[in-house]
Amino acid sequence: KKIEIVRVVKDIKIGDKVTGDMVRSVEVGSLNLPSEVMKNKENVIGKYASADMVPGDYIINSKVADEPAAENAYLYNLSGEKQAISVSVKSFATGLSGKLKSGDIVSVIAPDYQKQGETVIPPELKYVEVIAVTAGSGYDANTGEEDPEEKELPSTVTLLATPEQSRILAMMEKDGNLHISLVYRGTKENAAKFIAEQEQALQELYPPETEAVESEPETGQPEGETEGSAE
């Protein structure tokens, strides 16, 4: 009896996103095939390789995942518009006790923000995505994978941030005062809604540079040429 399975036709490295040109459906004899072999190409395309694969390999369930390998998942979120910035965490909001995971949405809280004596969440840092949590030992403390052994409390949290957010985080890090509060943990779709809201707020706080560039020449004009200048 023949069945259709998914076979690799191009080298696939761990962490690669599987595309249509990397695999193809082929008919083979069903004898001695592992039960978890993938039979539908559509169930493979768009997933991430959790093992290296070479042309001729069958794809089995355990070789693909919905997310990139946990230890380097955050590398796939760096689009050029955002960057990874790590901050030291000395204190967590009550009840959080260091159990952050990659993919969590957090607020960054600044006690005595800008030396004004107030504890605030800067508007730029209301919703920020955690992309890695690193313990004092230097390994990823909470990657989202269940582990029966107790995890170390993280000493640094790596966040996915815009340049504006990174500047504020660096300033808070320099002041040595930074708290983190968990806002949301759940589906990527819902997490994206928080990030979209934050990006909208950032656009309002920092209008696109093109507007600023267009208005700059006005400042260099003689006073008599500017509109509404009073003599």
Tens digits of per-residue pLDDT, 33-81? 888 889 999 999 999 887 778 899 888 887 888 876 655 555 655 667 8
> Residue 85's pLDDT is what?
85
d(CA 138, CA 89): 14
Instruction: Name the pTM for this structure.
Output: 0.55
**Confidence label for 153 from pLDDT (cuts 50, 70 and 90):** low
Region 1-14 average pLDDT: 89
Six-digit token pair at 32? 């001695």
133 and 100 Cβ atoms separated by less than 8 Å: yes
Q: Tell me yes or no: is domain 2-65 CATH 3.90.1210.10.
A: yes
d(CA 29, CA 220): 77
Region for residue 157 given its phi and psi (left: phi exceeds 0; alpha: psi -120 to 50; beta: otherwise): beta
3-state secondary structure 66-78: CCCCHHHHHHHHC
Domain ranges in the chain?
Answer: 2-65, 71-211
Name the more confident of 141 and 126. Answer: 126
d(CA 88, CA 177): 9
If you count DSSP H runs as helices and E runs as strands, how many of each does the chain have, helices first?
3, 10
Sign of the Cα pseudo-torsion (118, 124, 130, 131, in order): negative
